[in-house]
Amino acid sequence: MINAEFRRSGGRLCGFSVSGHSGYASAGSDIVCASVSSAVMLACNLATDIFKLDADVSVGANEISLSLKSGDSGVIEGLYEHLKALGEEYPENISVKISEV
């Protein structure tokens, strides 16, 4: 299962961590994994390279996280909505949660 945990502070999303494997299909054929991976990479690249937001991105084995230090949280809000929709379509493969920090 892919676990997406979003962090909220002061009423706005300020970061996320996404980890795991969807288990929907074998590697190379997993449309759920590909959808999540593409969306997460787009969000990270938009935040850091296009909008130049003050953010830390960390990439590890089967995990990626982004912490927004300052700036507009619209990119993270968009990713949350996208992953939430995917989670509703594939509830056995994606879990999306928000925690207060």
Position 66 scores a pLDDT of 98
Domain positions in the chain: 2-100
Q: Which CATH superfamily is domain 2-100 in?
A: Cysteine protease Prp (3.30.70.1490)
CA distances from 41 to 38, 66, 101 (A): 5, 10, 23
pLDDT mean values, one per 10 residues, the chain (101 residues): 96 96 94 97 96 96 94 94 98 97 91
- Distance, in Å, from the CA atom of 59 to the CA atom of 82, rounded to the nearest integer, reads 20
pTM of the model: 0.94
